[in-house]
């Protein structure tokens, strides 16, 4: 029952965030990029730096944040992670690192998940990113660009992002 109430509040928060989104800087050049990644997509974080390298960005201009549906007790060096337990019953994010990540005005934020996930959708909708990229199977209201590629195929993702960002004049 509590899970159902939480889903309702998550949906309301997403809708409210989408209504209040500032799109005035959507056409800015690419200088910073963030990746919001579902841990179920088992991909080495070095791959994200490879993607950004093809976009002519330095590692310092790339930020990663990971979401896991369940909290694991396994020790990790990742500070930038959140799980569903960090969301209150009314859909508020109770993780300082996550809120700090969402406050960063990235030029591009990539929602790196392939199935609908209310928690990740809320984070994408709450982000201050200027331009948002996602994958085809997710709520298309959240993103400015949807790509129809398998998230595990980073080679094709690099090519697609470079191609579209050149067309959109985000990179030279």
Predicted confidence (pLDDT) per residue in 34-44, tens digit: 999 999 898 88
pTM for the full predicted model: 0.92
User: Judging by DSSP bridges, how do beta strands 145-147 and 81-83 pair with one another?
Assistant: unpaired
> Which domain, by its residues, includes 126?
2-167
Share of the chain above pLDDT 70, in %: 95
What average pLDDT does the segment 3-31 reach? Answer: 92
Nearest alpha-carbon partner for 133 in 125, 142, 121: 142
172 within some domain: no
43 contact partners, CB below 8 Å, separation of at least 6 = 37, 112, 151, 152, 154
76 within some domain: yes
113 within some domain: yes
- In the chain, the number of structural domains is 1
Q: What CATH number should be reported for the domain holding residue 16?
A: 3.40.50
């Amino acid at each position: 029952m509590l899970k159902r109430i939480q889903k309702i509040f998550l949906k309301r928060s997403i809708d409210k965030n989408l209504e209040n989104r500032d799109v005035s800087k959507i056409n800015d050049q690419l200088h910073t990029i963030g990746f919001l990644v579902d841990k179920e997509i088992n991909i080495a974080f070095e791959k994200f730096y490879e993607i950004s390298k093809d976009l002519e960005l330095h590692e310092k201009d790339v930020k990663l944040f990971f979401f896991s549906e369940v909290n694991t007790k396994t020790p990790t060096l990742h500070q930038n992670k959140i799980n569903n337990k960090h969301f209150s019953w009314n859909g508020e994010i109770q993780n300082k690192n996550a809120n700090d990540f969402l406050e960063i005005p990235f030029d591009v934020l990539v929602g790196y998940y392939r199935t609908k996930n209310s928690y990740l959708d809320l984070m994408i909708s709450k982000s201050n990113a200027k331009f948002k990229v996602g994958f085809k199977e997710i709520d298309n209201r959240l993103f400015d660009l949807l790509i129809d590629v398998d998230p595990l195929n980073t080679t094709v993702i690099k090519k697609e992002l470079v191609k579209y960002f050149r067309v959109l004049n985000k990179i030279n």
